[in-house]
């Protein structure tokens, strides 16, 4: 039997592009961390992620999925010049702190940091690469950019993304691209600059959608959809209803690795 474990957006997307298959979900709902709630006044509240980044291969794949689901006309783009993209806040020591939003602000000290963030960038540029196969997100960021960035910015971000602990989550699992930039190019900033200097992202083997072309031309920072990200989950569920056997409240408790496959 072929199985997909988990009915989060990744599991649902995998099922959408698969042949008839069985999907196991341990809870009573689909969507994983995605959960959009509408108030009586019509306001949308996201209890999980509220936007998606359009960058790179993963961004291209996600926008292609949205296009394949027929949701292109419901996409809400947020450009890099939008106030939402320009004003990012973190909650530290019971206060909201605004993060630097442009190049020049990197040279000023912003609370809760004790010095300008340009020093964190210089730290990455001057720190030698340590060959590794993996490490925690916290250790990686602390090693490349300093402990304050790891404590204040990245730990807050990881809590927001998956309610997780940056000291316990693999950088190769959640931030594989940053880890790859360091290991291949000698540093995160060095690698990012090299990729920016290239003519366009390497999307070999991936079909570029009209939405992805729009995102590059219009310089999207992030995007969402009308009704919240739950709209994507609900639409996937509708498409899979006649193709995939979905078993709710079904927990996989054991995986056995065989010579020619895996037995759940």
Q: 114: domain range?
A: 85-200
Q: Does residue 62 lie in a domain region?
A: no
Residue 48 clears pLDDT 90, i.e. is over it: no
Q: What is the pTM of this model?
A: 0.75
Rounded to the nearest integer, the mean pLDDT of the chain is 90
Q: Does residue 92 lie in a domain region?
A: yes
Q: Give residue 196's pLDDT.
A: 80
Q: Give residue 203's pLDDT.
A: 57
Q: Give residue 164's pLDDT.
A: 78
Pick the more confident residue, 101 or 234.
234
Residue 262 clears pLDDT 80, i.e. is over it: no
- pLDDT above 70 covers what percent of the chain? 96
Q: Give residue 149's pLDDT.
A: 96
Per-residue pLDDT tens for 114-164? 999 999 999 999 999 989 999 999 999 999 999 999 999 999 888 777 767
Q: Does residue 33 lie in a domain region?
A: no
Q: Does residue 238 lie in a domain region?
A: no
Per-residue pLDDT tens for 194-241? 888 875 655 555 667 999 999 999 999 999 999 999 999 999 999 998
Task: Look at the chain and report how many structural domains it folds into.
Answer: 1
Q: Does residue 71 lie in a domain region?
A: no
Q: Are 239 and 232 a contacting pair, CB within 8 Å? A: no
- Residue 139 CA to residue 180 CA, distance in Å, equals 15
User: Looking at residue 180, which CATH number applies to its domain?
Assistant: 1.10.3110.10
Q: Does residue 168 lie in a domain region?
A: yes
86 pLDDT band, cuts 50/70/90, is confident
Q: What is the mean pLDDT of the segment spanning 18-36?
A: 92
Pick the more confident residue, 112 or 160.
112
Q: Does residue 183 lie in a domain region?
A: yes
Q: Does residue 227 lie in a domain region?
A: no
Which residue bears the tokens 């999307």?
203
Per-residue pLDDT tens for 162-175? 767 999 999 998 88
């Amino acid at each position: 039997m072929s199985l997909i474990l988990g009915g989060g957006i990744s599991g649902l997307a995998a099922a959408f592009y698969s042949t008839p298959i069985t999907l196991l979900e341990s809870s009573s709902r689909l969507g994983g961390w995605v959960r959009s709630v509408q108030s009586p006044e019509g306001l949308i509240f996201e209890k999980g992620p509220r936007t998606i980044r359009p960058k790179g291969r993963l961004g291209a794949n996600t926008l292609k999925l949205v296009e394949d689901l027929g949701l292109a006309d419901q996409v809400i783009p947020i450009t890099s010049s939008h106030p939402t993209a320009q004003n990012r806040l973190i909650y530290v020591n019971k206060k909201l702190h605004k993060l630097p939003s442009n190049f020049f602000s990197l040279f000023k000290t912003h609370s809760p940091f004790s010095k300008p963030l340009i020093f964190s960038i210089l730290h990455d540029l001057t720190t030698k690469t340590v060959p590794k196969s993996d490490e925690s997100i916290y250790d990686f960021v602390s090693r490349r950019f300093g402990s304050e960035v790891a404590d204040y910015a990245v730990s807050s971000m990881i809590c927001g993304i998956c309610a997780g602990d940056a000291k316990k989550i693999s950088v190769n699992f959640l931030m594989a691209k940053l880890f790859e930039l360091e290991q291949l190019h000698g540093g995160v900033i060095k690698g990012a600059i090299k990729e920016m200097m290239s003519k366009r992202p390497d999307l070999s083997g991936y079909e570029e959608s009209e939405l992805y072309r729009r995102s590059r031309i219009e310089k999207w920072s992030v995007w969402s959809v009308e009704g919240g990200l739950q709209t994507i989950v609900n639409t996937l569920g509708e498409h899979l209803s006649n193709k995939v056997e979905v078993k709710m409240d079904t927990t996989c408790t054991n995986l056995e690795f065989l010579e020619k496959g895996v037995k759940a």
